[in-house]
Structure 1
């Protein structure tokens, strides 16, 4: 059976790399996008040798206003027939917003939101024209409540979650689907890069990256609108919907605060 080629951003490590493994394991050719060329090439070699798929790498720093359009144009220049778009690239910032680095906050907004929206809009034209396609956006359970000490990150994921759910409904009667993957904390380099290793959430609650990748792949293939891996996170998500906001804010503050 022919499988659609999957383009995955932020594919060199963490959830992105595991999603690449999941797609390759099921016979999808891949387009892997990241800024670290050596790590990206190593991932491509591993996936091609292990799963016998074709892997194309594109070295691109997506923290640039023109980068999403450049990536889209390069995909077309190489005649890569992408049928699955995985918007995974993103970063997190940690600490009081009043003490944050503004450039870092704006980079977070570009990578987590603007790049995702731009790539989704560009590839959606292709998917509509071909009459099929799948979009997987990596959101977070963080997007279901405000997050003191990670205010910008939680807000960016709230956008991703809401945007993707709305898009999924718009596409419901078509052969194009949109899925948002909403994991809790995952045991990857993300937490150390965000500087949250000393927080309660950063040291206590983690998913395995394999669990998250498998849930994301299966949910995308099934056309689910929202995928929350793991029963504890599903329960937490339901609880967040009924907990009064003042209580929820204070609880999240305690979870995110330094131990």
Structure 2
């Protein structure tokens, strides 16, 4: 019995502390530590970074990390702040704890846009802001119109929907973490599943390499890349609750690893080779 208990404890310790593994010629480094429950990332001019710290019970905040590493609170007293997106010269942010408002931050002033429940993912384009709720079997997808402040529920009964984005090919995609799928938002409402059998897919990001998917799993989570040909590759493995991935602006990527309270910088093979040649 004692041996079984020790083996079980050892297995969970191994899952928690086994280092992140990068595939092939990809590499990573930790660029910011002690970022409690790091979730959403936004890269600012001059190398600054906005990070949401997804703590509960009004202990969460949005923090600006300056290029020299200094930090300052942008908004505090939040409950699980999760999504951040730039819009109209400011920032829209969501909170994923209970019935809380989606807010607009402009020049230090916070304005409520609309009410939601456990809102996580945000996407802004033109006159429309999209927001999606992380709720079990009854999540909703909203479309807010800036010009007349109207709010439309585009979808309901979603199962832990966490992220929505527009890809470079024009498709709008969203996740249902509870079902392990990525769906395409369509005008006829059918919303076909385009990727399935995923382990708790959360944040999505599209760029010239394809579709990036992070898995919001406590143990052995992955960062996946589905290339333009539809091939799925695991770029990072043994992550702990990874959240948003963004382009850094210096030919690398930044990934929030909320389960380890840190931000990683991911370097692709071509950039890694060129850096080595310059040394």
TM-score by length of 1: 0.31
Compare the two structures and name the one with the higher strand fraction. 2
Compare the two structures and name the one with the higher helix fraction. 1
- Structure whose alpha-carbon radius of gyration is higher: 2
Higher relative contact order (CA 8 A, sep 6+): 1
TM-score by length of 2: 0.30
